[in-house]
Structure formats: C-alpha cells, structure tokens
Amino acid sequence: MMLRIEVFSEDRNQLGEGPLWDVEEQRLYWIDSYAPAVYSCDARGGNRKSWNLPEPVGSLALREKGGTIVALRNGFHTLDFETGAVELLHETHPGELRPRLNDGKVDRQGRFVAGSMDFEERDPVGTLFRLDPDLSLHTLDTGIICSNGPCFSPDGTTLYFADSHKKAIYAYSYDTASGTVGSRRVFTSFDSLRGYPDGATVDAEGYVWSVEVYSGRLIRFDPNGVIDRIVGLPVQSTTSITFGGPELDIAYVTSMARPFNNQYHCEREAGCMFAVHGLGVRGLPEPRFKG
C-alpha cells in the first residue's frame, strides 16, 4: 500500500492537539488549545461538533458514562457534551501562575494520566498527574518543563512520556494494578534530531510514534528506542498523533498555526489536521476514562 497524506480538516487551529479516535462511536476528537475548544467528526470528516471552553485546554479523556474530562489550564474539569457545562474537579497548581495542564492519555485500566508544563517553557515547574476513576488525584513525577506525549505499551506496563524542552522521551515502569510509576529511564533522545518530541502513541506492534514538532516529521521508534522509520509531513508545525479509522490504520496528525519565536509558519496548511494512509501498521483502541 502506497503512502498517502491528505488534509483531513482544513480548519487552521491555533494549536491543534490531542487527537483521539473513539472506537465506540467511530469518531475523531481533538482540541485547539488556544481557541479554546473541543472538536469532533466522523470518519469522513462530516457531522462536525464543537464545544467551547473557558480557558486553554491541553488534552481530553472520553468518559465511559458520557462526556469527557478536560485538562484545562488550572486543572481537571468535566465537560458535558449535552449542555456544554464545564465543572472543576481539581485545581492542580493553586496560586501558581506559570504551570498549566497539557498532554494526557488514558491508561489501559481507565485512569487519566496528564502532565503540566511551564507556560513560558523555561523552568521545571510541571507535574505528572494521575486521575483515578474515583476522581482522586495523585502525583507521579515532578520537575517537568514541558509535558508531552504520554502513551502506554500494549500490555500497559510501560508509560512513555516526553519532556519536550529536554528533548527526551522517558520510559517509566508502570504498575497496572495501582497506577504507580517505578524506575524511569531515557527511552530516546532528540539531541541529534532537528525538532522536539511532542505528542505520541503506541501501535499494535509496540512501537512508539512521536511527532517531531518544528520539524514536521513522524518518527517511529522500536521498543528499544531505536529509530525504525521517519515520515515527512507537509508542515513543520505538527503536534500530535492518533491511529483511527474503522481498521485503526490511519494516522491522524494535528498541527498549529500560531507563530513560533515570533515567526509565522509559511505553509498554508499549518494548523490543519492530516490523515496519513498506507503506513502498514495499526494502532490500539484508546480506552475511555472509567470515572
């Protein structure tokens, strides 16, 4: 099957992030962090829906009971898809101005793992959190500058997580029964690469796909952290990835239109959503949050 890359959504998101394919509804969800809003559509890009949010959003977790958990700037909230109502569950950094919640993913057992970042992307003020189905909140790690790309191995026993500013993806041992993390190691470094690790996912073969932001590439790493494949994309400002479609064999990739270092992206498709066909691999179903 030949590789084919197409524009799936022509909306130019300021900061498109958090794509999520829901196998139950056969729908794609994603966010524009700075609109701020949640978007959804069917497999053909139709039947579009959207929900406005009161502050910047970093990620979302669809709930088994309906609606979603959204990681907003100041903490974890619920979003009711029927009414659009947003309600605070936990303020994550009370009294602190610079940390904001960012990327997140639901683990294989239905817990939501999401991290915060320094709004100025400079100092290690971020924290990695776990929100349990009983809605209790727990700290997994601290000292993070820019949280990105949490994702899990097929058996759920490894948590991959990037600190974009440090140009590294880490691998934590992950206790599937308790949701606690053990030892942490550097899974792979981006020091010799052009960009930074951003959003990520794991495919059915256990390989990690990381979006290299400010370089416009998808990089597939084997379970040992060695580069297996690099796929170029039409824009430099790519941000995150999920596998979706009826066969979970389409890679949906978000991007951003907002300036970087006061420079506007020259590509006309910056901020669009892309669909990458013909990669020859399948993703894994993303679990819903059990709370």
Residues acting as catalytic residues: 198
- The long-range contacts involving 91-97, CB below 8 angstroms and separated by at least 24 positions, are 92/116, 92/127, 92/129, 92/137, 93/125, 93/127, 96/125
Tokens 């958990």 appear where?
A: 69
Length reported for the chain: 291
- The answer to whether 148 is annotated as binding is yes
DSSP 164: G
Nearest C-alpha neighbor of 284 from the set 111, 188, 151 = 151
Nearest C-alpha neighbor of 264 from the set 12, 8, 7 = 12
Phi, psi of 125 (to 5 degrees): -100, 5
Helix (H, G, I), strand (E, B) or coil at 165: helix
- The answer to whether 13 is annotated as binding is no
Tokens 């590789």 appear where?
A: 3
Phi, psi of 165 (to 5 degrees): -65, -30
- The answer to whether 100 is annotated as binding is yes
Tokens 């990620």 appear where?
A: 59
Q: How far is CA 291 from CA 10, 47, 110, in A?
A: 34, 27, 8
- The answer to whether 102 is annotated as binding is yes
- The answer to whether 120 is annotated as binding is yes
Distance linking the first and last C-alpha atoms of the chain: 40
- The answer to whether 261 is annotated as binding is no
List, as residue ranges, the binding site for substrate.
100, 102, 120
List, as residue ranges, the binding site.
17, 100, 102, 120, 148, 198
List, as residue ranges, the binding site for a divalent metal cation.
17, 148, 198
